[in-house]
């Protein structure tokens, strides 16, 4: 009873003191906590933040599979001919000075075959600040060369079928750890469909434009300079004698749409010209396929090159295709 009474008395005497201390220091503690929150590390030590990016549509659909309801984005699950992009590359730049914040990270199709679930995943650790995050998806075997966010090109002056994600990101304690991103097509395409049979002498198809470019500015999705572009397509022996074959080249544009002249040459051994056609004012548009169909290997010998005019028609089933017909 004494112990119980003494304890009760002590509690009665101390309780007002504790109440006074709590009332005095609680606001101070709350204020310190708020101040600490403002400078607290994001999700790691020393203020570093690890962010995980997932590319949702690394499987792309070709121009052939674009439907009337398709957008500029690749399909997450293509319904016709799914094709995993051969390469995914991520680069991060300081948004203020444009300097590279990390070494580029590249995933190749071999990685997809080994661990497909990890192929579209990128994980980076960054200090608080503002950045530009660039992710490229593309096909072909040429190496991607990233000088800066505004200067991206490929070896041998090649322009591949290219998709892009490019956004600024502020890294702080409120930044989401998991980021889901989507790629969009940033090239136009010009296709020649040769309705006549491929001659035995044909070794290469050469496309040369007078406008457009080979360099991509990831901050705009366009080429920073209209330099023109030349691209060669090797023709395998298995093509000889076949008809209605497609030859397609890609190009970065200076804006959403533009026109250019194209010279298309059919070459034999030692790059000697078999046939040549000149196409004037070819209409091009980002995420759009411009197609010419005709007899490529007839009626246009090299000594009498033809300038081909265009009637532009929008195909009712393919709103992202321009059909161009020789007059």
Residue 36, SS3 per DSSP:
helix
Nearest C-alpha neighbor of 87 from the set 55, 123, 63, 64: 55
Nearest C-alpha neighbor of 214 from the set 291, 145, 283: 145
Contacts of 34 (CB under 8 A, 6+ apart): none
| Calpha distance 60→87 (Å, rounded) | 12
* 320 within 8 A of 283, measured Cβ to Cβ: no
Concatenating the DSSP letter of every residue in 150-167 gives: TEEEEGGG----EEEEEE
| Calpha distance 42→59 (Å, rounded) | 33
Contacts of 288 (CB under 8 A, 6+ apart): 188, 189, 257, 320, 321, 322
Residue 282, SS3 per DSSP:
strand
Strand partners, 245: 194
- Residue-by-residue pLDDT tens, the chain, 327 positions: 333 333 333 334 444 443 443 444 434 333 323 333 343 334 555 689 999 999 999 987 665 543 333 333 333 333 344 588 999 999 999 999 999 999 999 999 999 999 999 999 999 999 999 999 999 999 999 999 999 999 999 999 999 999 999 999 999 989 999 999 999 999 999 999 999 999 999 999 999 999 999 999 999 999 999 999 999 999 999 999 999 999 999 999 999 999 999 999 999 999 999 999 999 999 999 988 888 988 999 865 555 545 555 444 433 333 455 655 543
Contacts of 308 (CB under 8 A, 6+ apart): 277, 278, 279, 280, 292, 294, 326, 327
Helix (H), strand (E) at residue 35? helix 2-39
| Calpha distance 158→249 (Å, rounded) | 10
pLDDT at 83: 82
pLDDT at 132: 98
In 268-310, which ranges are E strands?
A: 273-285, 289-294, 306-308
Does the predicted TM-score (pTM) go above 0.85? no
């Amino acid at each position: 009873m004494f112990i119980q009474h003494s304890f009760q008395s002590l509690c009665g005497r101390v309780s007002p003191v504790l109440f006074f201390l709590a009332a005095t220091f609680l606001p101070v503690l709350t204020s310190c906590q708020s101040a600490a929150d403002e400078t607290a590390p994001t999700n790691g030590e020393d203020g570093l933040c690890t962010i995980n990016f997932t590319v949702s549509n690394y499987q792309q659909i070709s121009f052939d599979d674009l439907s009337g309801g398709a957008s500029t984005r690749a399909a997450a699950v293509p319904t016709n001919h799914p094709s995993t992009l051969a390469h995914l590359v991520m680069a991060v730049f300081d948004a203020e000075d444009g300097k590279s914040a990390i070494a580029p990270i590249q995933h190749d199709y071999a990685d997809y075959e080994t661990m497909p679930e990890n192929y579209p995943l990128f994980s980076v650790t960054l200090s608080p600040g503002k950045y530009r995050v660039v992710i490229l998806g593309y096909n072909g075997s040429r190496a991607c060369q990233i000088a800066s966010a505004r200067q991206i090109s490929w070896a041998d002056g090649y322009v591949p079928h290219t998709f892009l994600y490019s956004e600024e990101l502020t890294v702080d304690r409120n930044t989401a750890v998991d980021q889901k991103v989507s790629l969009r097509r940033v090239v136009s395409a010009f296709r020649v469909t040769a309705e006549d049979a491929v001659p035995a002498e044909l070794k290469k198809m050469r496309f040369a434009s007078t406008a457009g470019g080979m360099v991509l500015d990831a901050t705009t999705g366009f080429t920073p300079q209209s330099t023109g572009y030349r691209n060669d397509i090797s023709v395998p022996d298995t093509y000889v004698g076949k008809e209605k074959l497609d030859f397609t080249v890609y190009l970065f544009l200076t804006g959403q749409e533009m026109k250019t002249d194209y010279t298309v040459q059919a070459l034999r051994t030692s790059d000697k010209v078999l046939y040549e056609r000149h196409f004037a004012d070819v209409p091009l548009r980002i995420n759009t396929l411009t197609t010419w169909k005709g007899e490529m290997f007839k009626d246009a010998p090299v000594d009498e090159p033809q300038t081909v005019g265009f009637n532009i028609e929008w195909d009712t089933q393919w709103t992202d295709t321009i059909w161009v017909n020789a007059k």
